[in-house]
Amino acid sequence: MSVMATANLKRPDNMYDNPIAFKARAMEEIKRAKRYPTFVSMVQFDISHINSEGEIENFESLDQFYSNLLNLVMRSVRDTDLVSPLSLGKIAILLVETPRDGAYVLLERLKKTIKYFLCNNTKSPINWRVPSKECFFPGGKDNSNDLLAAIEEIGRLN
């Protein structure tokens, strides 16, 4: 059962269930950013370390837990931001027309939101960590945090 199937909600336009479709849309946005000099950023969260029902509280299954987390993330981003569950516990958010500073602000805000969710719904403080990654276009002078490289990895994550 997919993460969104348990939510029983209408799929928002900025939600990409399929990581390959998300990757294709991200590449379109990078092409647009090259053509009309603008910024594109992406943040990723990985809480896949929570992988058994014995680690969660307040939910009947991991699917329900991750579905609620995904809905929380969807409510926390702009309508223009694109969201994709890359796999169970891994979420990517493409921030269109968002420079590095804006991505960092969202990243910190979402980390706090996700950590609060984890504190309320997991049994152990060990599970309260929220690993994240951020990438940008255009990238840094040394190509660190390069969005193109991160998007290429998406197809290999599943």
pLDDT digits 0-9 by tens, 63-107: 999 999 999 999 999 999 999 998 888 999 999 999 999 999 999
- Residue 148 tokens, joined: 């193109």
Place of tokens 């599970």: 127
Residues of the chain with pLDDT under 50: 1-10
Domains and CATH numbers, the chain: 5-157 (3.30.70.270)
Coil, helix or strand at residue 19: helix
The dihedral region occupied by 86, where left means phi > 0, alpha psi between -120 and 50, and beta the remainder, is alpha
